[in-house]
Amino acid sequence: MSVFPTQYSILQSAALNEHIAENYGLSDTKCKLLIHNVSDIYVLESTTEKYIFKIYRDMHRSLDQILGELEILNDLKKAGASISYPLTDLSGKQVQQFEAAEGIRNGVLFSYAAGKVIPDMNTKQLKTAGREIALIHQHTSTIKLNHFRPEYNNYTTLIGPLTTLAPHFKEMPDEFAWLTATAEKVIAKLSSFDTSSFSVGYCHYDFLPKNFHFDEADKVTFFDFDFAGKGYLVNDLMTLFVHFFLDSEFKRCSPEKAKQDFNTIVEAYREVKHLSDEELAAIPYLGFQFWIFYMEFHYQNFDDWSNIFLTQKYTKDRVALIKRWMERYAIN
């Protein structure tokens, strides 16, 4: 009997453990599935070491895009950045390939980011995060890649996503009309800035605290560069601004503390790398792009992992949240 058409399989942990141990020269390891959503994340652990093994979906990241991500990470590792980095197997490869039910799945073994997620960072941790992001940007602003990574611009974060999302909003015309009208205002506002002076390079585009760990000595390690792409580097500070907005919006901290914590990161960043006031002023508008980009991402990946997302209620609540963002920081 032939294999029935499959779009998203889960590879067996025990078999992966054997494959990884053999190909990387590891012993006495155990492997377990940690996350199954946009990609599959496994934890590989021995009595002394810990690793992350990530298996990509070809529908989300082609091999060329994965190789682009690895180029960025290898460059950052060489520069001494505080990141989780890809490991090389005994034959010199950084990408493992598996013949799964739906076709080839590509996997990469990463070093483990020591420590844990700290959503409510103290002053020392905030300063460390700011400085280390600036150090990363010093290098990603100069990288020239041989492989493809996405770009973040008006088309890829607003015009294209809203076109894709139009069918989803068929029964929510008021919400969609507001999004499209606001997108036009955002594009006009961004064009009023001297964006030619903005720092450009490969940004992480998901620098929320869930994607970096602090160890007991408050050393930070950044990971999950899956969305790394070319754009304004201030986008990475924007994603942190989103984190503080959500904290204040959902009463996890006061708006005053959220503002103070973000300013602490900015001050530390500026100790290492230039950041203009105009780049900071663009954050609310870049943030609108961020919300729309990820709404499209959830919509496009609904079949594979986001079936709890994008109900009509969820979508209306998300649009209401974006409205509060714009009312608080930008244009109505």
What does pLDDT average to in each consecutive run of 10 residues of the chain (332 residues)? 90 98 96 94 95 95 98 98 98 97 96 97 98 98 96 98 98 98 97 96 97 97 98 98 97 96 98 98 98 96 82 96 95 57
Q: Where in the chain is the domain with CATH 3.30.200.20?
A: 13-111
3 state DSSP class of 91: coil
3 state DSSP class of 70: helix
Give the distance between the most distant pair of CA atoms in the chain.
64
Q: Phi first, then psi: what are they for 230, rounded to 5°?
A: -85, 135
3 state DSSP class of 165: helix
Q: Where in the chain is the domain with CATH 3.90.1200.10?
A: 123-329
Given this model, what pLDDT does residue 69 score? 98
User: What are the structure tokens assigned to 83, written together?
Assistant: 């990141």
Q: Kindly list the distances between the CA atom of residue 82 and the CA atoms of 75, 130, 206, 222, in Å, as whole numbers in the listed order.
A: 12, 12, 16, 6
Given this model, what pLDDT does residue 310 score? 85
Given this model, what pLDDT does residue 14 score? 98
Given this model, what pLDDT does residue 330 score? 84
Q: Specify the amino acid at residue 109.
A: L
pLDDT, tens digit, for every residue of 154-181?
999 999 999 999 999 999 999 999 999 9
Determine the Cα–Cα distance for residues 289 and 184; give it in Å rounded to an integer: 11
Determine the Cα–Cα distance for residues 94 and 128; give it in Å rounded to an integer: 29
pLDDT, tens digit, for every residue of 182-237?
999 999 999 999 999 999 999 999 999 999 999 999 999 999 999 999 999 999 99
Given this model, what pLDDT does residue 331 score? 64
> Is it true that domain 13-111 has CATH number 3.30.200.20?
yes
Given this model, what pLDDT does residue 36 score? 93
276 and 199 Cβ atoms separated by less than 8 Å: no
| CATH number of the domain located at residue range(s) 123-329 in this protein | 3.90.1200.10
